[in-house]
Amino acid sequence: MKKSIAVQTEFSQIEQLSWLSKLKNLRKRDFGILIGVQILMFSAIYALNNFRPYFEELHFRRMETMAGQILVFFLLAVLAFQIAFLIYIAWLFVKYKPTGSVADDDLPVCTIIVPAYNEGRLVYDTLKSIAACNYPPEKLEIMAIDDGSKDDTWYWINRANEDLGHILTVYQQPENRGKRHALHRGFTTGRGEIFITIDSDSVVEQDTLRNLASPFVKDQNTGGVAGNVKVLNKNQGIIPKMLNVSFVFSFEFIRSAQSSLGFVLCTPGALSAYRKEAVMNCLEDWIEQKFMGNYATIGEDRAMTNLILKQGYDVKFQKNANVLTNTPTGFRNLHKMFTRWGRSNVRETLMMNSFIFKDFRKKNKAGARFIYMNQWVKLLLVYPMTILMLYFLFTHPLLYLSSALTATFIFSSIQMFFFSSRYNFVDALWAYPYSVFYMFALFWISPFAIATVKNGRWLTR
């Protein structure tokens, strides 16, 4: 328990440092990357302005052809749609407020399910942090499920159980069948009114569980709640530093906006909660889910969210329910994680077709459909935009690089200002390297995920 509390205390202390202290503590390599990216982007803007006559001549030449006119109108239409969507999301974000915590007597009985596979010591810290939460012990069932690990995960689960006075319910799957089946065991044996799933490489804060469970008490139509995922290992390399900014924007901006409609698209595996009744209504469909003839083994969180939304329940986001999770530190695991997420996104966006235009909920149907349409627009544009990118890169490299970097700078600035308004300025600057890194090193993820969507391998296990 001491270690879990220490991890949380350390995280809080880091967040409270001033931006000046952060700047002083930056390693020379990290500082050089930040400065280098800034110079690169401002150079691109300078080049764009300095070579404007060349660009304008090229533009007018293209406008003389029918194909050029169609291309320009197409790009303008895409830009207009994305700006309209961003304005709409910003409006929803302003409306968002997390649900306040309810009193102990009103809190529901919760079953916490922690599936684990080859996590080693990490699962011990996860279980200790859960036990240290500010939640009535008599209303808490903590369940740890070893999904046929090949390392010492089972030892650390039992070690945690001993150190916590045998308050855990522990299971060991006879063989590795995947996270979905481990969760299924928890869903079918848990006694709680609310199921809470937590990844075995994550640590929760003391008020996380009560904040996550409270929306179910205050709104009976709440079927699922997404937790606020933050990066635990952000000091372990450049990639976690960049993901730290990306996660904050994805959760505290995007999911906050979606929550205003009760239409959060994905309850994350790191921390989510579900109403038992909603889970039981779709449990068979979830565990037997197939895609292109094969049983689904990835995207269990997104699939459960879809099935709960389909029933007419609201799915919300709780900004005050924090979980700190470990993220990839190397490129190999990073692109595999994004590929898995990309495939799941394609599958579940297709699945949404079965209910999104039906009378599946009482309110906010138009807003939900607008969010859905944006998902489809992004998918449909993947190949056309990739082809255009490669075409301009090889035919007019200066035009492409300067325009792409300028656009990246604008979008990164939105993330940077959002992050710095809530945390600190120095960490926010990692939004710029991340956008450049994604543009040059990860642009292929989306087209590859679509082309290999049938592949259901976990990849990072």
What are the per-10-residue average pLDDT scores of the chain (461 residues)?
Answer: 47 47 53 56 56 52 62 80 92 95 96 96 96 96 95 96 95 92 96 97 96 97 97 92 95 97 96 98 95 87 97 97 95 94 95 95 95 94 91 82 81 90 89 90 94 77 55
71-105: burial string, b at 16+ Cβ within 10 Å, e else? eeeeeeeeeeeeeebeeebeebbeebebbebbeee
Quick: pLDDT tens for 36-80: 555 555 555 555 555 545 555 555 555 556 666 677 778 788 888
Specify the pTM.
Answer: 0.86
Task: List phi, psi (to 5°) of 314.
Answer: -85, 145
The rounded Cα 22 to chain-centroid distance in angstroms is 26
Quick: pLDDT tens for 437-455: 998 899 999 999 999 998 8
The pLDDT score that the predictor gives to residue 25 is: 53
Work out whether the CA dihedral 214, 215, 221, 223 comes out positive or negative: negative
Beta carbons of 63 and 70 less than 8 angstroms apart: no
List Cβ<8 Å contacts ≥24 apart for 83-89.
85/370, 85/374, 88/367, 88/370, 89/253, 89/254, 89/257
The pLDDT score that the predictor gives to residue 4 is: 46
CATH of domain 1-50+96-461: 3.90.550.10
Taking alpha carbons only, the member of 268, 272, 329, 286 closest to residue 460 is 329
Taking alpha carbons only, the member of 161, 281, 147, 291 closest to residue 223 is 281
Beta carbons of 135 and 107 less than 8 angstroms apart: yes
Work out whether the CA dihedral 374, 379, 383, 386 comes out positive or negative: positive
Taking alpha carbons only, the member of 387, 377, 426, 331 closest to residue 77 is 377
Taking alpha carbons only, the member of 279, 122, 115, 127 closest to residue 181 is 115
Enumerate the β-bridge partners of residue 141: 111
The pLDDT score that the predictor gives to residue 102 is: 95
